[in-house]
Chains A and B, each alone.
Chain A
Amino acid sequence: MSGRHLDEASYRGLLGGTIEAGEARRVAEHLEAGCEACETWLESREPDLLDGATDLALSRVSPPGSAGNDLEYGRIRRRVGAGATSRWAPALAAAAVLAVAGAAVLVARVDRRPGSDTWDGVKGALGAPVPARLRFSVVRAGPGGPEVERGATGAVVPSDASLLFRVEAGGPTALALLRLGADGTEVVWRGRAAAAGALDVEVGGRPAAFPLRGLAGLQRFALLAAPDLGPERIEEARRLLAGARAGAAPGPMVGLDLVEVTVR
């Protein structure tokens, strides 16, 4: 510390606890006496933990500030969800098991809307329907490697399991997978089917499993399919699904399939 004013080394020493006792006392005296040069130096710094502590101290002299609300919180959660793909875990081993197990593993019962034997999730007069189905398998770590079971909607699954999803699309379409739980709704995956057929949910070009760790209770996963599935459309569907009774459709021209599990 030159000329007793604050500098980077003394500042970091103070915050990090590496400053020598005598020096700390000298700094304390200097700052308590008031020093415009040190204030200017502090003001010029980018905000750090001392700023947070200062704002916290200042908040204590003030009446409670403006409380939050559900709408704002919902927006924050959606923004976090939209950017969050890190929850997905690589599932290469599980995918290999699936490949060996073949189609039998993937025959998951899909929860269709009541009164509908065949898929008719796409409504409205415009365009051709793009049917889509969501299938899943439950992956758990076993002594000899990943163990994969056919996923059945309505099943109870342990929280240390992951879900491996497969989408079957009836034609080219954009896709989105939403999770709906008691803690809110989030978009967990977005993708595109280039042609009719099945595709595994992948993140970063690799099959990925969705870990259930940290989740509890009923978890619904909704697959949306539409040629044009922009953020607004997803948001509209998300809102409808979040408040919807079972079987509600997300709107015209959006294909929907739902599966649900209870995490325990």
Chain B
Amino acid sequence: VALALAGDGRAHREIYDRYRPAAHRVARGFAEFDEDDLEDVVQETFVRVYQNLGRLKEPARLAAWVLTIARNRALTRLARRRARQEVAEDLANERAARGEEATEMADPEADLELAVVRRIIDGLPDGPEKETVRLFYVEGNLSAREIADRLGVGKSAITMRLERFRTRVKRRLLAEVARLRGEESTARSKARSKAR
């Protein structure tokens, strides 16, 4: 991030190369998008990333920040399409994601996150939602739109299934954050008592 901020072209390119696949996957989760939409979302994402990189307070959060922007761009595009009208700019949310408001989000370990996600997938009852999640996330070769075609269901149904699953993951990750917060605070209290 520091190199990119200093104008190092290779660092810019590395950010793109490293996070482009995940940003593209975020956009692919919306079955309403065709290939042109996906490209636009990816491009808009990285244009915003480069334009706002200087405001990222926690470089360690770069990955999550890029993906937050990608989701914002995708949702904004979707909202425009659905409502056929301009939606409010989402800069405020990206500002929060940059760490200006939530600066110290506790990070569950990557392995823990992975375990949480796998547990949720395994725990899904057999059925359309599990099949959609398996095709999109586990196999990972099809876009939401392609899954809709394959399963013969409406595009919005696939988007909804994926979003429902994603929200479940989000809730569980937030639970992990809460658990870590509880442990951190307890550890700090014990340390203070010991010091006294």
Binding site for B on A (CB under 8 A): 6, 11-12, 14-17, 19-22, 24-25, 27-28, 31-32, 34-35, 38-39, 42-43, 46-68, 72-73, 75-77, 79-80, 83-84, 181-184, 213-215
Give every chain A residue within 8 A of B21 (Cβ-Cβ).
Answer: 59, 64-68
Complex contact A80–B50 (CB within 8 A):
yes
What residue in chain B is nearest A70 (Cβ atoms)?
A: B13
What residue in chain B is nearest A77 (Cβ atoms)?
A: B12
Complex contact B7–A215 (CB within 8 A):
yes
Residue B147 at the chain A interface, CB threshold 8 Å: no
A-B contact pairs, 8 of them (CB 8 A): A31-B174, A55-B26, A55-B70, A58-B117, A61-B114, A63-B139, A76-B50, A79-B43
Asked whether A31 and B171 contact (CB < 8 A) given A49-B68, A49-B99, A51-B71, the answer is yes
Q: How far is the CB of A242 from chain B (nearest CB, A)?
A: 13
Residue B83 at the chain A interface, CB threshold 8 Å: no
Complex contact A73–B22 (CB within 8 A):
no
Give every chain B residue within 8 A of A14 (Cβ-Cβ).
Answer: 174, 177-178, 181
Complex contact B47–A76 (CB within 8 A):
yes
Instruction: Encode B119-154 as 1/0 by CB contact (under 8 A) with A.
Output: 001000000000000000111110000000000000
Complex contact A24–B181 (CB within 8 A):
yes
Complex contact A15–B166 (CB within 8 A):
no
Complex contact A213–B7 (CB within 8 A):
yes
Asked whether A52 and B68 contact (CB < 8 A) given A15-B177, A39-B168, the answer is yes
Binding site for A on B (CB under 8 A): 5-10, 12-13, 16-17, 20-22, 24-26, 28, 39, 42-43, 46-47, 50-51, 61, 63-72, 75, 90, 92-93, 96-97, 99, 101-107, 110, 113-114, 116-118, 121, 137-141, 163-164, 166-179, 181-182, 184-186, 189
Give every chain A residue within 8 A of B138 (Cβ-Cβ).
Answer: 61-62
Asked whether A72 and B64 contact (CB < 8 A) given A48-B96, A49-B105, A62-B25, the answer is no
What residue in chain A is nearest B112 (Cβ atoms)?
A: A57
Complex contact B64–A56 (CB within 8 A):
yes
Complex contact B110–A60 (CB within 8 A):
yes
Give every chain B residue within 8 A of A20 (Cβ-Cβ).
Answer: 185
Complex contact A39–B63 (CB within 8 A):
no
B97 interface neighbour in A22, A39, A48, Cβ under 8 Å: A48
A21 interface neighbour in B103, B117, B185, Cβ under 8 Å: B185
Complex contact B185–A16 (CB within 8 A):
no
Q: How far is the CB of B139 from chain A (nearest CB, A)?
A: 8
Complex contact A57–B43 (CB within 8 A):
no
Complex contact A17–B104 (CB within 8 A):
yes
B102 interface neighbour in A16, A38, A59, A213, Cβ under 8 Å: A16
What residue in chain A is nearest B111 (Cβ atoms)?
A: A60
* CA distance in complex: A36, B93 (Å): 24
Give every chain B residue within 8 A of A77 (Cβ-Cβ).
Answer: 12, 50
What residue in chain B is nearest A40 (Cβ atoms)?
A: B167
Complex contact B182–A24 (CB within 8 A):
yes
Q: How far is the CB of A33 from chain B (nearest CB, A)?
A: 9
Complex contact A57–B173 (CB within 8 A):
yes
Complex contact A48–B93 (CB within 8 A):
yes
Give every chain B residue within 8 A of A66 (Cβ-Cβ).
Answer: 20-21, 24-25
What residue in chain A is nearest B88 (Cβ atoms)?
A: A46
What residue in chain A is nearest B48 (Cβ atoms)?
A: A80
Complex contact A51–B47 (CB within 8 A):
no
Give every chain A residue within 8 A of B164 (Cβ-Cβ).
Answer: 43
* CA distance in complex: A183, B26 (Å): 28
